Amino acid sequence: MAKSFVDSFTYLQLIVDDYYLPIPRCVGEHFKYDNIDYGYLVESSSVYRESLNRMLQKKIKQVYVFLEILRVSLEYEKEAFSDVFEQLNKYKIPIPNVDDIEKRVRYDLDKIMSRFDFKVYDCVKPEDIKTVRASLREELREVYLK
């Protein structure tokens, strides 16, 4: 498994907190924090664990939705700017592979989840991701392919 920090769950779960990160409207509800409270970090172990579970579940879902934003955006960028991608390929400039990034995230989460009472699939169901992907394709089609 490649060890690029920018492809890791640790990094991506921080990126999704960036208030300046443009998020498509159709998935915006996944990135809202009405009451951000990291106070659990200094609470008793039982409060800490329960709050950490909730935060981790939210972060897992956000990262997977973010990966779909990257995946769909890249699909449309390749279509809208095919000449640019041809040049990138010609000069052997690597293009991010979202499937590889997702594999790295899964690898990281497998190590993390061994210590928790829930699994990734409790947070992110394949049918939810399909719905997110369909919504993103509809919204981003208008952005990229006007």
Torsion over CA: 22, 27, 33, 38 (sign): negative
Of the two residues 50 and 78, the one the predictor is more confident about is 78
Of the two residues 30 and 42, the one the predictor is more confident about is 30
% of the chain exceeding 70 in pLDDT = 95
Helices (H), 81-123: 82-90, 98-113, 120-123
CB 95 within 8 A of CB 88: yes
**Statement: residue 136 has pLDDT above 80:** yes
- Neighbour-count burial for 18-33, b at 16+ CB within 10 Å, e otherwise: eeeeebbebbeebbee
Mean pLDDT of 76-104: 96
**Statement: residue 34 has pLDDT above 90:** no
Report pTM: 0.89
